[in-house]
Chains A and B, each alone.
Chain A
């Protein structure tokens, strides 16, 4: 293996040091798999290799429900705990900001949670007391500092930094950017997505729409992959109203961009029609591919490096019955790259695919979770899955179908067995969205 070969080209002064068992394991281990917990998180982060203690849920406030504010909710998932399966803490940030996605810093000591409507970013200390995160800083000048980006979508750990993909800009269109901050919350840089007018050196397959959504990195290939959604003018509108507006429906993403990550240079704009959303790189050390799903066309797409070293995108499966418009939302790829969970919003269903051959996904389970469904997170061992219900405040279903829950399941490779569920409406918490795992033992002093 080339990687090991590069490690073996040692100078004599180093070779002596690396004769020990640990060094041999180090050399051999260079191509072995990763240690990580929830499989959707940044590869740069400190990792939990055992079971999670807590699930943090970034929750959108609902007017008239509890304090009505967005909040970070801590759910106790410690086996044997008297409060197992209960929400044991919630930290309100004051007001509603369209709570959506977030992420830990690389040292996992902070959780950054973003608001899509007013572009605020809330930074929680999760290290001092992992059961009770504390709000320690609010970034409220994201638009100004970034040079006009708006709608911070998530927060993705880089070494000592956070990468914040935006969905929009100060004009509320879909022109989006990637914005970098240091871990202490200091603005560093903005990188706008390439467009037809300003391709920034990227090779355009068909069109460069400039839209943004997810941004994820495969470090060993020095490649970043971004996807595309829509701007503030669409995602804050009531879904039914927007869906009838033909002009509005034209303003959705149809591209994914491959970047030279180190240089932050867009290199290739792939054509992936139908709004490609979540990006999940495979974890295997030789698996040079990522999955995404397209919301408006209900398909699984594969972005992959072919045998000649060229990067391509192709659709590899329909999700549900073609043409039914299930709206796939969150996805989760198992640590062994063999199982892909795909949630669809409209029918509240999770579908599980055998993706051992990533070019030929095979559905192995279809299970209704609730009246509506969005996020799915799984443990690194693939044995525990957590689902939440909310997509966007103005897109969630109404009436009896507006179920707001977190549901936990055990997965044995064939079936999802219920473990517990929390009714976020009955608990007066709000609309649960992004989930992330916490563990007290990460912070042993």
Chain B
């Protein structure tokens, strides 16, 4: 395709964008400008918004850091889970995502009522390279050992065949880059993380630019409030106030 260079990055974080910096040369940053410090509106309070179910969380065989084979769905039981797909050879999106996960873990550790009812899960989609030992080493770079921190699992797959249904269930496409020596790593992917409730339903999907630890923790708290209120029926209804005028002429 005519010398095209490709990247499966996301715009707002623009992590691999140094080569095309000229596209925005001359944009002087105003004082105080930033991504997460100045949302247009303050983050809404937990429980003040709804997170309708999107789909059932996928299952598949995975390996934990000790090399034990487990069913992913079993590992997601009983707590609200934040699941992120990465590979350790990634040079752009994944380190940023894992950093966000570590900040989420730190933030959650400040509230024991939340931290003991949630978990973080990082899953590699590069099983040939990311062995259980590699994941353990990777975990050591990010995971907090604080007693109050929520648990954080680092998983990989036994092989590509075992991984395929997991990726399919989470609609996580991974392609080999034309240039395996690419600075960002050999694989092309869109970063996605998933919020999964205790019933195994996906309740939110995040790109990296919305993977703000404060925002994600608000979502976790929203689900905890929902559980506490026993409002399971409420999330079945996802039409937000159909207007009367939809059934009658304006």
Q: Which residues of chain A have a CB within 8 Å of any CB of chain B?
A: 1-7, 10-11, 13-14, 16-18, 22-23, 25-26, 28-36, 43-53, 78-80, 106-107, 109, 127, 146-149, 158-161, 169-171, 173-175, 182-184, 186-192, 195, 197-198, 200, 210, 218-223, 251, 258, 260, 262-265, 267, 283-287, 305, 309, 311, 335-337, 380, 439-445
- Taking a contact as CB atoms closer than 8 A, the residue among B18, B48, B53, B210 that contacts A25 in the complex is B18
A262, B210: Cβ atoms closer than 8 Å: yes
23 contacts between A and B (CB under 8 A): A2-B38, A25-B18, A35-B7, A44-B11, A45-B11, A49-B20, A107-B171, A109-B173, A127-B173, A147-B242, A159-B192, A159-B205, A159-B210, A170-B247, A182-B171, A188-B52, A192-B240, A219-B12, A219-B210, A264-B240, A305-B40, A309-B38, A336-B23
- Taking a contact as CB atoms closer than 8 A, the residue among B20, B144, B183 that contacts A33 in the complex is B20
Which residues of chain B (207-225) have a CB below 8 Å from chain A? Answer: 207, 209-210, 215
B11, A175: Cβ atoms closer than 8 Å: no
In angstroms, how far is the closest chain B Cβ from the Cβ of A305?
7
B11, A260: Cβ atoms closer than 8 Å: no
Question: A66 vs B5: C-alpha distance in the bound complex, in angstroms?
Answer: 37
The 9 closest A-B pairs by CB, nearest first: A50-B4, A2-B34, A160-B205, A34-B11, A33-B24, A147-B239, A43-B11, A223-B40, A263-B49
Chain B residue with minimal CB distance to A147?
B239
Q: Which residues of B contact A195 (CB under 8 A)?
A: 243, 245
B102, A14: Cβ atoms closer than 8 Å: yes
User: Which of B62-70, B72-80, B88-96 lies at the interface?
Assistant: B88-96
Cβ-based interface call for B241 (8 A): yes
Most chain B beta-carbon contacts within 10 A, residue among A52, A309, A444:
A444
Q: Which residues of chain B have a CB within 8 Å of any CB of chain A?
A: 1-18, 20-21, 23-30, 32-41, 43-44, 48-50, 52-55, 91-92, 95-96, 99, 102, 106, 140-144, 171, 173, 175-178, 183-184, 188, 190, 192, 194, 205-207, 209-210, 215, 238-250
In angstroms, how far is the closest chain A Cβ from the Cβ of B29?
5
Question: A171 vs B246: C-alpha distance in the bound complex, in angstroms?
Answer: 6
Chain A residue with minimal CB distance to B43?
A262
A219, B55: Cβ atoms closer than 8 Å: no
Q: Which residues of B contact A30 (CB under 8 A)?
A: 13-15, 35
B245, A175: Cβ atoms closer than 8 Å: yes
Question: A267 vs B92: C-alpha distance in the bound complex, in angstroms?
Answer: 34
A33, B21: Cβ atoms closer than 8 Å: yes
Most chain A beta-carbon contacts within 10 A, residue among B50, B96, B141, B246:
B246
Q: Which residues of B contact A80 (CB under 8 A)?
A: 2
Question: A93 vs B248: C-alpha distance in the bound complex, in angstroms?
Answer: 32
B38, A29: Cβ atoms closer than 8 Å: no
Question: A148 vs B35: C-alpha distance in the bound complex, in angstroms?
Answer: 36
